[in-house]
């Protein structure tokens, strides 16, 4: 009977049936190896009356190292010596756990169990769980949730029952919306939380499994040059009248001129800009590390942004110490698109045109700026595979076809596209 060590655990091999390696130091403590290769720490003990029971401490891996599991086994033996029964206590604790308890446990301990999951994905899960799942299922016992409950949750979120206007800080607000896409993502996040609970042996089944996810409506909005011009008018006017902070305006212009995702621009750091080659080297993005061509109109905007010594962010926060990245762009964008629509109608009236035919930009999302960049590039005759590479799309079938290309043709595509957008914006620097 060896003393369980990391080496013993790591080298233990699975056999045709369940096996347990007992520890020589703590009585009843052992490592269980399943035929599947899954390794878990267990404690074998006897309760009053002599009945033998086996308690599963947890699966090998974060947070259960052999030393942590051994310490836990010693604690449990102390409880048993005082007349306690760990299995009974665990059953009672499980029965008392609510969905809200599960969500907080998942969000606090899940990142350590899934180190490869991006922080942005955890933030999305947290938002969907707290804003949509908790209002509807938060107080329900975790083990009492059924697949019917989850299906009803999805339908209710899709219908907008969890929609709200949430205060997020000083003068900050977040508009929580419903819809099929949000509903399906909320169910997926809840399912991930239950999978986490199953791994921890807190529940035996996942009620989200088998629930058919709703498909969100695909909405792709492409801007015309006239609409881009209206946005440019709004940016200029709102900046001149101090109704839009210059860094907010710069963020919107950079999104339009590079085709980057919102998070890539708001999180941009000075160290990632290769001024000599005209590139942005993003160490991480939705699709991993990537290089983005930086056209001259975008370079001109970047060059006039004031740097703050010791601050790595290109677009710094506006309020507070300004140490973090810029936040609140959604609210600023909503104001810009409303004013752009008003100006477009005003221009139509002045020109004697039918106002009903003037651009309406109130439905344009920030991500539509990226779609529009792609549409401008394609309209200029850029091959689809080059547009995909400029935007950083990672699709295996297309990547293989252009992997041998240099950045030069990509830079040309980016320059032509940004030049057209910059011309429509009228004033690329501020």
310-332 pLDDT, tens digit each: 899 999 998 777 788 998 899 99
* Cβ(301)–Cβ(249) below 8 Å: no
Residue 394 has a pLDDT of 60
Residue 204, domain member (yes or no): no
250 with 117, same domain: the answer is no
- What does the pLDDT average to over 189-210? 92
Residue 235 has a pLDDT of 96
40 with 133, same domain: the answer is no
Average pLDDT of the residues of the chain: 85
Residue 429 has a pLDDT of 44
The residue among 132, 164, 199 that closes a domain is 199
Residue 1, domain member (yes or no): no
299 with 400, same domain: the answer is yes
44 with 103, same domain: the answer is no
**Residue 427 pLDDT grade (very low, low, confident, very high; cuts 50, 70, 90):** low
**Residue 398 pLDDT grade (very low, low, confident, very high; cuts 50, 70, 90):** very low
294 with 245, same domain: the answer is yes
The residue among 68, 93, 118 that closes a domain is 93
291 with 270, same domain: the answer is yes
Residue-wise pLDDT for 345-361, tens only, equals 998 888 888 878 888 89
More confident position, 412 or 301: 301
**Residue 406 pLDDT grade (very low, low, confident, very high; cuts 50, 70, 90):** very low
| 39-46 and 52-59 strand pairing | antiparallel
Number of domains in the chain: 3
More confident position, 135 or 171: 135
The residue among 199, 233, 268 that closes a domain is 199
Coil vs helix vs strand at 205: coil
More confident position, 320 or 188: 188
- Closest to 222 in 3D by CA, of 395, 378, 69: 378
Checking if the pLDDT of 54 tops 50, the result is: yes
Report how far apart, in Å, the C-alpha atoms of 65 and of each of 12, 28, 57, 59 are.
14, 17, 11, 9
- What does the pLDDT average to over 195-213? 91
Residue 11 has a pLDDT of 94
**pTM of the predicted model as reported, rounded to 2 decimal places:** 0.53
Measured in whole angstroms, the distance separating CA 285 from the mean position of its chain's CA atoms is 11
Coil vs helix vs strand at 224: coil
Q: Is the peptide bond before 193 cis (omega within 30 degrees of 0)?
A: no
Q: What CA–CA distance (Å, rounded) separates 338 from 213?
A: 34
Coil vs helix vs strand at 121: helix
3-state helix, strand, coil in the chain (%, to 5): 50, 15, 35
Residue 42, domain member (yes or no): yes
What does the radius of gyration of the chain's CA atoms come to, in whole angstroms? 28
Residue 210, domain member (yes or no): no
Residue spans of beta strands (DSSP E) within 209-360: 273-274, 279-282, 290-293
Checking if the pLDDT of 1 tops 50, the result is: yes
Residue 296, domain member (yes or no): yes
More confident position, 381 or 278: 278
| Domain residue limits at 354 | 225-425
Checking if the pLDDT of 188 tops 60, the result is: yes
The first and second tokens of residue 398, run together, are: 């297309």
Q: What CA–CA distance (Å, rounded) separates 381 from 320?
A: 45
Checking if the pLDDT of 104 tops 70, the result is: yes
More confident position, 172 or 50: 50
Residue 93 has a pLDDT of 73
- Closest to 201 in 3D by CA, of 18, 13, 55: 55
Residue 121 has a pLDDT of 82
152 with 103, same domain: the answer is yes
18 with 142, same domain: the answer is no
CATH of the domain at 312: 1.10.443.10
| 29-33 and 39-46 strand pairing | antiparallel
């Amino acid at each position: 009977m060896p003393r369980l060590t990391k080496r013993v655990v790591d080298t233990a091999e699975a056999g045709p049936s369940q096996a347990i390696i007992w520890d020589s130091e703590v009585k009843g403590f052992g490592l269980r190896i399943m035929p599947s290769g899954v390794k878990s720490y267990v404690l074998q003990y006897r309760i009053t009356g002599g009945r033998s029971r086996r308690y599963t401490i947890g699966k090998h891996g974060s947070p259960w190292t052999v030393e942590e599991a051994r310490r836990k086994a010693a604690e449990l033996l102390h409880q048993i010596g005082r007349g306690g029964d760990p299995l009974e206590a665990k059953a009672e604790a499980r029965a008392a756990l609510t969905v809200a308890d599960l969500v907080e446990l998942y969000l606090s301990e899940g990142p350590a169990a899934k180190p490869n999951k991006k922080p942005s994905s955890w933030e999305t899960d947290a938002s969907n769980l707290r804003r949509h799942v908790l209002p509807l299922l938060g107080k329900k016992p975790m083990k009492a949730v059924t697949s019917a409950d989850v299906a009803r949750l999805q339908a209710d979120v899709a219908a907008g029952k969890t929609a709200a206007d949430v205060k997020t800080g000083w003068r900050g607000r977040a508009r929580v919306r419903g819809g099929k896409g949000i509903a399906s993502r909320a169910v997926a996040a809840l399912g991930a939380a239950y999978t986490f609970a199953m791994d921890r042996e807190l529940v035996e089944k996942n009620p989200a499994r088998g629930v058919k996810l709703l498909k969100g409506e695909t909405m792709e909005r492409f801007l015309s040059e006239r609409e881009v011009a209206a946005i440019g008018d709004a940016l200029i006017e709102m900046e001149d009248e101090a109704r839009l902070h210059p860094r907010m305006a710069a963020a919107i212009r950079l999104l339009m001129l590079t085709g980057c995702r919102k998070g890539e621009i708001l999180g941009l750091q000075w160290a990632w800009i290769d001024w000599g080659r005209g590139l942005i080297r993003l160490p991480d993005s939705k699709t991993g590390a990537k290089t983005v061509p930086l056209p001259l109109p975008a370079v001109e905007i970047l060059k006039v942004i004031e740097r703050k010594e010791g601050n790595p962010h290109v677009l710094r926060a506006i309020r507070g110490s300004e140490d973090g990245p810029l936040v609140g762009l959604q609210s600023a964008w909503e104001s810009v698109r409303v004013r752009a629509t008003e100006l477009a109608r005003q221009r139509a009236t002045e020109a004697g045109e039918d106002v009903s035919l003037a651009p309406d930009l109130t439905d344009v999302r920030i991500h539509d700026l990226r779609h529009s960049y792609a549409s401008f590039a394609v309209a200029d005759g850029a091959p689809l595979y080059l547009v995909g590479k400029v935007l950083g799309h990672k699709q295996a079938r297309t990547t293989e076809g252009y992997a041998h290309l240099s950045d030069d043709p990509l830079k040309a595509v980016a320059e032509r596209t940004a030049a057209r957008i910059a011309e429509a914006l009228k004033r690329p620097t501020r």
